[in-house]
Amino acid sequence: MSLDPGIHRRPVPLARAYRLLNHGPTVLVSTRHDGRDNVMAAAWNMPLDFDPPKVAVVIDRSTFTRRLIEASGRFALNVPPRALVDASFAAGSLGGATLDDKFAACALRSFDAQVLDLPLVEGCVAWLECEVIAEPHVQQAHDLFVARVVAAQADERVFSDGRWHFDASTDALRTLHHLGAGAFLASGEPVQARPVGPTPD
Ligand SMILES: Cc1cc2nc3c(=O)[nH]c(=O)nc-3n(C[C@H](O)[C@H](O)[C@H](O)COP(=O)(O)O)c2cc1C
């Protein structure tokens, strides 16, 4: 299974962007300001609205990412697959402030976003470009950032027709769910709910 997403990357309609995060993957938050690019892991992220789509993510005040987001007002959420588990954990362990190139230090590569001036992470399976909605009190008190999604893309091999399709043939592209201390679950088998209760005659 090739990780090069270039030829498989497809735009996702904004009204479906929430589904890229609905199943709770750990994401990579990528940032750019004043010639510096950075990336960090974030498990505490969630969709917040359908259309226009919004997201929320906790960005601790001690991180370099926080500085870049506060300066630029934007970030991207990149959804890494299991093939990037080591790089994703490294992005959640190393501090970018003292590194020349955190992408390189984590064995990650970037490409330019479509709409915002941001780096996106190569080899991921979904990408959301986000503009911060300023909520100074919430940011200061809870390290929580709310943002509007202005562009979304996904790897068509695992996300098409507005939903994820994980199966044995795309094992390396399953998303990551953090249990703690570097242990993750890869997204599992789909289970389809059916209506309950009496069926009408
Ligand atoms: C799997 C994983 C998930 C994490 N989730 C979050 C999170 O949701 N919010 C946060 O502020 N830090 C989170 N972290 C910690 C940051 O990724 C970590 O502090 C990182 O080194 C910050 O990098 P930076 O200083 O280059 O921005 C997580 C770390 C790991 C390994």
**pLDDT digit string, tens, across residues 83-112:** 999 999 999 999 999 999 999 999 999 999
3-class DSSP state of 19: helix
Is the pTM above the cut of 0.85?
A: yes
Residue 54 pairs with which residues in a beta bridge? 49, 148
Q: Does the beta carbon of 30 lie inside 6 Å of ligand 1?
A: no
Q: Does the beta carbon of 75 lie inside 6 Å of ligand 1?
A: no
Q: How far is CA 159 from CA 121, 149, 173, in A?
A: 17, 18, 10
Mean pLDDT of 117-141: 98
Mean pLDDT of 21-44: 98
Asked whether the predicted pLDDT for residue 45 surpasses 90, the reply is yes
> Which of 21, 36, 60, 100 to probe ligand 1 with, by most ligand atoms within 8 A of CB?
60
Q: Does the beta carbon of 144 lie inside 6 Å of ligand 1?
A: no
pLDDT at site 2:
59
Q: Does the beta carbon of 105 lie inside 6 Å of ligand 1?
A: no
Mean pLDDT of 18-46: 98
Mean pLDDT of the chain: 96
Asked whether the predicted pLDDT for residue 197 surpasses 90, the reply is no
